[in-house]
Amino acid sequence: MPPNTLAVRLGIALLIAAPVAGCGAGAPDDAEARAVVTRFIDQLRAGEIDAAWESTTADFKSDEGRESFRKYVKGKPVLAGPLEIAELKQVEIHGLTRWEAVLHPPSETKPPAIVRTMIAQEGDAWRVERLVVE
């Protein structure tokens, strides 16, 4: 086989394989991201703080130990009530895809409580990377 033919075949194979290689467990769609955030918030609301903590990233766990997380959640009464996702958007941070959710109680509170979460891919799963109550 002439050398040019081999190069052309390899080039075609790479063009075909490149898009497939990136497909894997890529970014979740809106519904999947919403489900991850909702499951986490529902666990907090149900008092399943340990289960919620287990659904976070290794970085989150490293920054926020289990006992510290328990104290944080118990000190934020807004997390015990119903929350609605007001905004959900895909963002890119340092070239990595994340989903950020802004939640608030369904009724007006003065001042309005805002809960922010961010999810990130860890291995083949999407996990909570950040929780902030403002």
pLDDT tens for residues 36-85?
999 999 999 999 999 999 999 999 999 999 999 999 999 999 999 999 99
For the chain, the structural domain boundaries read: 25-133
Q: In the CATH scheme, what is the code of domain 25-133?
A: 3.10.450.100
In Å, how far are 26, 34, 75, 77, 105 from 71, measured between CA atoms? Answer: 34, 25, 6, 11, 21
Output DSSP code: residue 95. T
| Tens digits of residue pLDDT in 80-132 | 999 999 999 999 999 999 999 999 998 765 677 899 999 999 999 999 999 99
